[in-house]
Amino acid sequence: MRPLYVVNNFGQFNHLIHRALRDMDIPVVMVQNTTPPEDVATGCRGIILGGGPALDRAGNCPRYLGLGLPVLGICLGLHIIATAHGGSVRQGRSGGYGPVDVEICEHNDILKGYPEKIRVWASHADEVAVMPPDFSVLASSHICSTEAIARTEKHIYGLQWHPEVSHTADGRRIFSNFNAVTEEHGV
């Protein structure tokens, strides 16, 4: 079975994503965001776009979205997904990292098994301002109306919060759910 790829976008928590998956016995490899798309297409069964400081440092990430593989974007990864599909990102009103109570609006593949509300750890320095067409909102909060979005039929999911940190309630469930998606719909 091919591994999942965690794409390193220079974020401080990318190694924690990799570690969480490894600790869950999910095959995983961390790759740089300059990895050629053809190598990503043939090397993995799903992509996790990790966080990072800015969209202008996202390397080849927008090109990975057209490979037909399942994608999970975390923080900056969400912003890459949104902007590549016609949405936009703005500076958030709340900034900084901290706890946020998120309301699950739709329990689809990626949020299966969660209660109606969960406490997560998120940065809102930037957030999705305009939803990309054909995407739906999966979760929202009083701080941000787009805490999680998806284009479910393409198996593309984005989260504003960080499931890899211990401050997020049951964060590993996200990774377990995404792994199941990639086992069913990945290469």
* Residue 61, token pair as written in the block: 């990430």
Q: Which residues contact 113 (CB under 8 A, 6 or more apart)?
A: 107, 173, 177
* Residue 75, token pair as written in the block: 């923080």
**Amino acid found at 156:** I
Beta-strand (E) ranges in the chain? 4-8, 28-32, 46-49, 71-74, 88-91, 97-104, 117-123, 126-130, 136-140, 148-151, 156-159
- Would residue 142 show up in a list of annotated catalytic residues for this protein? no
Q: Which residues contact 170 (CB under 8 A, 6 or more apart)?
A: 114, 118
- Would residue 38 show up in a list of annotated catalytic residues for this protein? no
- Would residue 153 show up in a list of annotated catalytic residues for this protein? no
Q: Which of 61, 75, 124, 147 is catalytic?
A: 75
* Residue 161, token pair as written in the block: 């919060």
Q: Which of 79, 124, 155, 162 is catalytic?
A: 162
Q: Tell me the C-alpha to C-alpha distance, in Å, between residue 166 and each of 23, 75, 122.
A: 14, 16, 12
The angle, 0 to 180 degrees and rounded to 10, between the axes of the packed helices 172-185 and 14-23 is 70
Report, as residue numbers or ranges, the catalytic residues.
75, 162, 164
